[in-house]
Amino acid sequence: MSYCLNPDCPQPKNPLHVTSCQACGHPIMLRNRYRVLKTLGQGGFGATFLARDESLPGNPSCVIKQLRPATTTSQVLEMAQKLFEREARTLGKIGNHPQVPRLLDFFQDNQQFYLVQEYISGLTLQQEIRQCGPLSEAGVKQFLSEVLPLIKYIHSQEVIHRDIKPANLIRREQDRKLVLIDFGAVKDEVNQAAVASTSDQTALTNFAIGTPGFAPPEQMALRPVYASDIYALGVTSVYLLTGKSPKDLDYNPSTGEMVWRKSVQVSDHFATVLKKMLEASVRHRYQTAEEILRALDLEPYFDSLVQGMAMPTSGLSNTNTNGNSTEVQEVDSPSSPSSPSSATQKLAAAIRKRRERRERSRPGSPNTMGNSNPRSQFISRSVTEIHTGNIPSSQSFATSRPKKLDANGVLTAYMKGRRDFASHDLSGLDLQKSDLSGGIFYQSKLTRINLQGADLSSADFGQASLTRANLRDANLGRAYLSNSDLEGADLRGADLSFAYLNHANLKGANLCGANLANAKITEEQLALAKTNWATIMPNGKRGLWS
């Protein structure tokens, strides 16, 4: 089907290959290039459409946004045009980030303004929750670990999104990464004089924009700040935990704050972090994404996140403003500059230094003891978490585990978009050659599970029991396996490149032929496992690590 973009057309739907609208005679092809296929949505200032670019091989899909305000008064039209141009300018500035749609075109045609951007195929978080139900604490932590570095990047570009919510976060089908869309409400001209004169970092704007319930008080009062996005991210986290939008939650009549704690089962520490994200007063709220990362102790995720999201991967080339091709280095490549250049790189470097200091000071670490026992460290850390109340799971050890799923149940749930299998008992299931990439199996029981040849890249197996598991030839690239129990697991030929294995128990694990390039693992851990000449060590060499 072809769709007519004439706002006054009485019947915009047309057969696929027509060149003019059969109802109003308006040209179907936009700029003799874009064919609109269907409408995607209508907002206060514009309408969005799915289209295809027929000037390129393969006719790739794209999204076209047309400036179409609900009313055409001069004031509203001027406001809409400013926001439209601001969105295009913002996407042009930050759209090179893999979690932001790229700006493809921006033009005026037949007295109408159009913005063309990359089409992101996938479900929004709102659709995922409606289909699969709320997430656990571990699932929301995984969400934050993926989105916070993106928010850090956006703010480093002096941009306030102002409309973060589940409906504006799409999980891209190709790689399961979250993509933030709809930059139509952004604030990209932060008033530096105002910032300097107030402790709340106030940035003035002419329009109160945002979604009620997700936007904080200062934003609705025309004074958005960077921390306004932190508040919206906190409300989004509550939605993911409860499955309820802000209007469906109770409010404290004295303070106006949402009453959400009684609706979820989370650790006291995580509840405290969310409470600070949701502070009505900007002074008492987290000011930066970096502060939340530190509070949640999400550093173990950050190395892979910063490599995968902050910059293009090594070996790719970008074109600068002069048209010259310049090589882009990976964040942690040996040839990277010694002084990190981007805000995200600086954050990653600071986090790594902090983690290294903590590792050196931990009793029993390789720097303080000749032979450290990963299993003892695993037990010690778990005991510490119990005593401090900082248990990074959605359920305490006293809480019963969810009902055990069968193999078909796991695969069906995954196909429908579910990624959170934290604290489940999946022992003995046959899931060989399954695609479970990005799955969350935090504290799950996976004893003797068959995952041979499965795609488990970027999955979270923190504190999971994988004893005697069949992981032969599995893809565990960038997987998080900290404090997991892999005793006797078969990992022959498995890809563990860039995996995080600190404090994992590898006693009797078979790593013959496994790829451990750039993995976070100690020599003491490897001494407990079986390796051979075909094992690729963290330094990239086969069969030896020196």
In angstroms, rounded to a whole number, what is the distance separating the alpha carbons of residues 534 and 141? Answer: 36
Cβ distance 35 to 17 under 8 Å?
Answer: no
Cβ distance 69 to 77 under 8 Å?
Answer: yes
Which tokens in the block code for residue 44?
């206060």
Classify residue 361 as exposed, middle or buried by CB count within 10 Å of its CB (0-12, 13-18, 19+).
exposed
Phi and psi, residue 517, nearest 5°: -55, 125
Show Cβ contacts of residue 467 under 8 Å, excluding neighbours closer than 6 positions. Answer: 447, 448, 485, 486, 487, 488, 489
Q: Is 469 helix (H, G, I), strand (E, B) or coil?
A: coil
- Its sign, for the CA torsion 352, 318, 518, 439, is positive
Q: Is 272 helix (H, G, I), strand (E, B) or coil?
A: helix
Q: What is the DSSP string of 115-171?
A: EEEE---EEEHHHHHHHH----HHHHHHHHHHHHHHHHHHHHTT-B----SGGGEEE
In angstroms, rounded to a whole number, what is the distance separating the alpha carbons of residues 72 and 218? Answer: 28
Q: Is 163 one of the annotated active-site residues of the chain?
A: yes
Which tokens in the block code for residue 363?
């009793």
In angstroms, rounded to a whole number, what is the distance separating the alpha carbons of residues 70 and 117? Answer: 22
Q: Considering the candidates 53, 163, 473, 490, report the single residue annotated as catalytic.
A: 163
474: left (phi over 0), alpha (psi -120 to 50) or beta: beta
Query: What is the DSSP-derived secondary structure letter of residue 451?
Result: -
In angstroms, rounded to a whole number, what is the distance separating the alpha carbons of residues 276 and 237? Answer: 12
Which tokens in the block code for residue 145?
């670990």
Query: What is the DSSP-derived secondary structure letter of residue 212?
Result: T
Query: What is the DSSP-derived secondary structure letter of residue 487?
Result: T
Which tokens in the block code for residue 365?
């670490």
Residue 65 marked in a binding site: yes
List residues bridging with 169 in a β-sheet. Answer: 180
In angstroms, rounded to a whole number, what is the distance separating the alpha carbons of residues 311 and 479? Answer: 20
Question: What is the arrangement of strands in the sheet containing 178-180, beginning at the earlier edge strand?
Answer: 122-124, 169-172, 178-180
Q: What is the DSSP string of 299-310?
A: HHHHHHHIIIII
- Nearest in space to 477 (alpha carbons), one of 494, 502, 463: 494
Q: What is the DSSP string of 307-328?
A: IIIISPPTT-EEE-TTS-EEE-
Instruction: Tell me how crowded residue 505 is: count the other CB atoms within 10 A of its CB.
Output: 27
- Nearest in space to 133 (alpha carbons), one of 413, 348, 357: 413
Cβ distance 271 to 263 under 8 Å?
Answer: no
In angstroms, rounded to a whole number, what is the distance separating the alpha carbons of residues 3 and 176? Answer: 30
The rounded Cα 416 to chain-centroid distance in angstroms is 18
Binding residues for ATP: 65
- Could you give the residue numbers annotated as active site? 163
Binding residues: 65
